[in-house]
Amino acid sequence: MQPGLLFVFEKFEIFLKRKEGFTMDLRAILKALRIGELVPPQLKDDGDFAGNNYVDTVGLAGILAVIQTGTIDAAIGTTAEGTAVCLEQCDTTDGSYAEIADAVLADAIGAGEDNSFFGVFVDLAKSHMRYLRVKAPHAGNGTTGCNMSAFYIGFPSDQLPKSAAGMGLAELIEA
């Protein structure tokens, strides 16, 4: 399990303990989650991150895409370092992907945002296509580059927190 994912689960457990009258077993929730890699961990300087994977959303009610940074000395964005990271969708795995409205971080991930988590939650009850992925993640030109990875947590039902603080994130965008 990725260290960032463990952190998200620990924050979620704290949230559950604070929520009044909540009786659901956390183990049952964790067993029902679908977890996978979107962008494998890597160091990139001035170029696109490799290995951008998609998630098949069949059977899920929501997806939390988590972008995790390590040490970074340049900005990370979509297609260019000055553009905010976003998600895109498609009806087929190899079709033409389109950006998801509102599934965009507030701005590009800056050079000083080391060791941070950024999340985009997509409510699949709204009209979304079957396949989702991070849109062309790109690292700017730095001295040593940008360490980044991205993973997703797929939720089978709408019973989890939807706030940045509740998920242990620096920023949360919902689409």
What's the whole-model pTM score?
0.77
Q: Which of 137, 151, 134, 150 is nearest to 74 (CA)?
A: 137
pLDDT above 60: residue 36 = yes
Q: Are 91 and 98 in contact (CB under 8 A)?
A: no
- Spell out the domain ranges in the chain: 3-174
Residue 26, pLDDT above cutoff 50? yes
For range 151-164, the mean pLDDT: 72
Alpha-carbon distance of 152 to 150, in angstroms, equals 7
- Residue that wins the pLDDT comparison between 79 and 53: 53
Q: Which overall architecture, per CATH, does domain 3-174 show?
A: Sandwich (2.60)
Give the H/E segment covering residue 67. strand 62-72
Please state, rounded to an integer, the average pLDDT across all residues of the chain: 83
Higher pLDDT, 148 or 159: 148
